[in-house]
Amino acid sequence: MSHSIRIKLTPERITSLQELQSITDTSFKDISLLHLAFVHRSFANEDSDRYLSDNERLEFLGDSVLGILAAEYLYKSLPKGKEGILAKLKSKMVSAPAIAKLARFYRFPDFLLLGKGEKEKGEANLNLQADCFEAFLGALYLDQGLNSCRIFLTPHFQTMEKGVESAEETKDYKTILQEYCQKKWKKLPEYILLKEEGPDHDKDFSVSVSCENYFQSNGDGKNKRRAEQMAAKAALRILKLL
């Protein structure tokens, strides 16, 4: 077999990898690549006569594939997004907890080959799961190219982006700012709608918030409430409260 594997896959392993392809809705031309993506270093070390390699090189490759496709997705999804916002979203979307969650969604821990010592630590290790997902992505890239990885990841990126936005919206920056202004200056912040543009189904709002001459900041959003929250967040940063 290719890819530094000196082993003929057993019928049981082939059946297992066929199940994995069904779960991930993929079809590998080179099943040894898929197998290698799930060979942890601890497992390969215990059988070094048959395994010349493990999944770490695929993990290295998959990490880069994940990064470029996440950046590409956000660049296209948020055409008005500033570099700082895009970087923050990307960081959360490619973080170990987020990627490990995807690995569990596809039951990757069930297919991962671990050495005895590593098994004792538990297959629930988030880093193990995240590394395995990246190795799978590296294998998919080598087997089928970047576009197949893009198709595989896009639905998850969409869900992740919404999840990050929802978490952001649960923070009530307006209330934090109002309480601070009342305590500090005995004043309330004032919000002004600066701009509202776009069709009814896809509007963009720009809002300004100020408290007399103490501070002034702007925020954008797909609705007025979101824009006010972002303006309040920017104000809190100016006031060094975030």
| Residues tagged active-site | 63, 134
25 annotated binding-site participant = no
The neighbour count for residue 149, using CB atoms within 10 Å, is 21
118 annotated binding-site participant = no
Cα 236 to chain centroid distance, Å, stands at: 27
Q: Which residues contact 182 (CB under 8 A, 6 or more apart)?
A: 188
DSSP code, position 40: -
Distance of alpha carbon 212 from alpha carbon 231, whole angstroms: 15
134 annotated binding-site participant = yes
Instruction: Please say whether the beta carbons of 232 and 219 come within 8 A.
Output: yes
Instruction: Please say whether the beta carbons of 230 and 240 come within 8 A.
Output: no
What are 17's two structure tokens? 């990898």
AA letter at 58: L
DSSP code, position 154: H
Beta bridge partners of 197: 204
Q: Which residues are annotated as a binding site for Mg(2+)?
A: 59, 131, 134
Q: Which parts are annotated binding residues?
A: 59, 131, 134
